[in-house]
A and B are shown apart, each in its own frame.
Chain A
């Protein structure tokens, strides 16, 4: 009798664990997060440089380029003013400098294209060599230019079933520095894939059709093709 009891209880235990597992996989879909540090615009950098120069922290040119010298000057300013010396002009440092970060008079725009491209690169090719990441970004841009694909970056990336990372939600992961740089390079015209429109992982690709495309180059695990 005890055995039957134990059996029933253990069956129930397994059953509830199974239920939990179902619930866990069901609700554990990737959630978006966005903790990207916003960088300053050139105009804002110029304001920072002008102010720091006036107060003797900065000796370089007021060129709006946030280079090493500017960063060092910002760090010095932060140390002298009891702020965290990270070299980043955040809200606190900006307030101490007497400038506002939002609402600049000139028109600035956020790089949502760059961000989207970086997200796709990160989700599709993290762990690949850097050049492989640039090539993935280049394929997306080649598609934008191609007649056979949509004509915007978001159109290409969100085309149904075009990228697995959109289907499984990995597109919403925050991209790392390398993905950003790769996206930036591709936007600047780099294309190590020489006009490729497709790429696939030769060991996991399931579509037979993809093998009929002409291979251009293999970089890391990805085969790039036209």
Chain B
């Protein structure tokens, strides 16, 4: 009896223990507790949860943290349940990993602020250090370099030992150096080595790391760091010259693009076209319309939207240009003052028309993936959109030049502008050529609008900001000479960008204007003055 009783008691205890062993962790283990904190919608709770989940070693840690970063982690504040929506749309319960059919109604994405985003980045860096993808390992090592979190040291040492990829190995070495540099109990020798490694990295991040070093380091290390900072600085100063030159080229290409159409209408035809900027704006709005149609009907084509927009913008702006020439400007040839007033009025009409049609607010024109982002060249950042615009501008310039030189229309245009009466008596329909020339200039302005929509506001005021600059470029380069426009645009761009860091954007612009005025005093016909009879005509 008593033995039986004991056995029973033992069995019962065992059962309790067993259930405890199975049930308790599933309901209230530290990992599950931490995950539930995401549901509190409180930034400091979320912070604790990230730390606890990242160090838990649980296989769900990586999916949870990366979902948090992408806004795919949602929580139900009522039941305190947290869900991960995979990038494939599958939903799992974050605490258990069990699949869930759909999110509950009350669930909302877990909110982050900047401080938490930094924590998430650092945590993800720690979690992806051992990722099989070398690119991910490099990114992780770089984020450790920035955060120089001591906990990551052991993982990095382990990873470094078996790392075979050269880039990843370098990134790991740098991350390790960053940690040692800030580790309180690292030896002086280790720290000196670390300074050397960071110095070799030599970019702005390295400098930030070294300048952030407090005063509580051994004097030898402080001295090494100071000399490393000085050498990085002088290196960066040299690169900043290269950078200014690049920015100048890029600004020059934008100026050229905006001015090239004007070089035809004003430079070649002599029409002061104040509505030129509005042609640029029409091109930008054409891009907007094209993108809208693509977004609603053919989302797959989005990356090609600009390629489609270019010919359309040319046609739209060109057609409107021909209409303007036929309707207004042809009655005003030889009367520059009236042309100026008429086209200025026209520019206001066009602006207000667009404002009525599309509304006064900015319109969103997206950047295709190949135009977003940047790459590093040495110590300078080159953004893809600027690079593409530079290439595009040069292409437009070359095509235009070839057109003027090699096609029949180009020949007729040159003939008419050089000597209208002679050309007419040779059988050229001069008024038709006038219309086409004006259309060509306007069409090119439209193309410029496509490119400018990538870097500027698409609003009814877009054109206004370019009209003065365009005239400046054409006048400076020499009226009637495409090469002059090219050289003028790049000169102004580069001069502006070398002045800007010294004088500031506002003074820089004023200085450029003053310089141009002085230059025009000396050479009224611009850089590349036309010679010969055409000048007197």
Does A associate with B in a complex? no
Interface residues of A (CB under 8 A from B): none
Question: Which B residues lie at the A interface, using CB under 8 A?
Answer: none
